[in-house]
Amino acid sequence: MEQVNTYTKALTDWIIVFGPKVLGALLVFIIGLYVTNWLSRVIGKSMNRRHFDVSLQSFLSSMVSVGLKILLLVTVAGMLGIQTTSFVALIGALGLAVGLALQGSLANFAGGVLILVFKPFKVGDIIETQGQTGVVMEIQIFNTILLTGENKTVILANGAVSNGTIVNHSKHGTLRVDITVGISPDNDMQKVRQVVESTMIANAHVLKDPKPTVNILKVADGMVTLAVRPYAETGHYWDVYFELQETLKTAFEKNAIAAPLHTYVVVNKTQTA
C-alpha cells in the first residue's frame, strides 16, 4: 500500500504540474488546426475571386496550410516544455540541404509561380521561347508544355522560360502575315496593286480591319519585290499564308502580270596554249 500511495502521489503531483500545460497545449492544437483550415479556405476563396490560376490556387493553399501546421506543432511543443531551438535549427538545416540539392528545381518552381501570377501567356496561346514555337498545352509548377506545328510535345523548364525572351503570338488575337512576291518591272504597278488588294479582300480569313496593304519592298536584281501584308486571326495565320500565295499566282496568270525574268551571265574562258 505504501508503494501504491507513493505512485499515486507522484502521479497526482505530475498532473498538478503538467496537467494544465497538457490541456493548454491540446486546446491550442485543436483551435490552431481549426484556424489553419479556416485560413487556407479564406486564402483559396480570395485567390478564386481574383481569378488566380487553378493550379496556383491549390499549390499556394497547400503551402500555407503546411507552413501554418509546422508553426503550430512548434508552438505546442514549446508549451509542453520541449526545447524547440534544436528542432527549428534542424528544420533550417534540412531546408538548406534540400535547397542546395534542388537549386535547378527551385528556380523552375519560382519561374512557374512568376508565369502563373504575371501571365505572360496562358494555355492555348502560341508562343516562341527558348528556340521553340508552339501552342501552350499546360503550365505546370516546374515545366511548360508546348505542342509544335509538327505535332511534337516540347517540355520547357519554367526557370529558363521566365528568365528568357517570350514572344506571344496570341496576345492581341491577330497577326500580320508577311508575304513577299516578285514581279517583272515592266508591269503596270497600279494594276498589280488592284489585283493583289482584291485577291486579299476575297480571302475569307483575311481581316478587313486592320486593312491589308501591298507596297513595293525593293527594286533590284531585275525585279520588283512586293510586300503583301494581310492580317488574320491567330488560328488562321497559316491558312492565309498558304492560300494567298496560291490565289495570287492564279490572279497574276489571269491578269497577265509577268513574273521576273532571271538572267544568267555565262563566262566563256578559252585556254590558250
Rounded CA gap, 26 and 181, in Å? 80
Rounded CA gap, 36 and 65, in Å? 6
Confidence of residue 56 (pLDDT cuts 50, 70, 90): low
**Mean pLDDT to the nearest integer, 190-198:** 95
**For residue 246, with 0-12 CB atoms within 10 Å meaning exposed, 13-18 middle and 19 or more buried, which class applies?**
exposed
**Mean pLDDT to the nearest integer, 217-224:** 89
**Which pLDDT score, from 0 to 100, does residue 273 have?**
46
For 74, residues 6+ apart whose C-beta sits below 8 A from its C-beta are 84, 87, 88
Among 135, 108, 224, 126, smallest CA distance to 173 is for 126
pTM comes to 0.55
**Which pLDDT score, from 0 to 100, does residue 241 have?**
93
Rounded CA gap, 133 and 54, in Å? 25
**Top-confidence residue, 269 or 240:** 240
**Mean pLDDT to the nearest integer, 123-141:** 90
Domains and CATH numbers, the chain: 2-101 (1.10.287.1260), 120-168 (2.30.30.60), 174-254 (3.30.70.100)
Are the C-beta atoms of 100 and 108 separated by less than 8 Å? no
Q: Is the pLDDT of residue 109 over 90?
A: no
**Which pLDDT score, from 0 to 100, does residue 179 have?**
95
Q: Is the pLDDT of residue 102 over 60?
A: no
Q: Is the pLDDT of residue 88 over 80?
A: no
**For residue 77, with 0-12 CB atoms within 10 Å meaning exposed, 13-18 middle and 19 or more buried, which class applies?**
middle
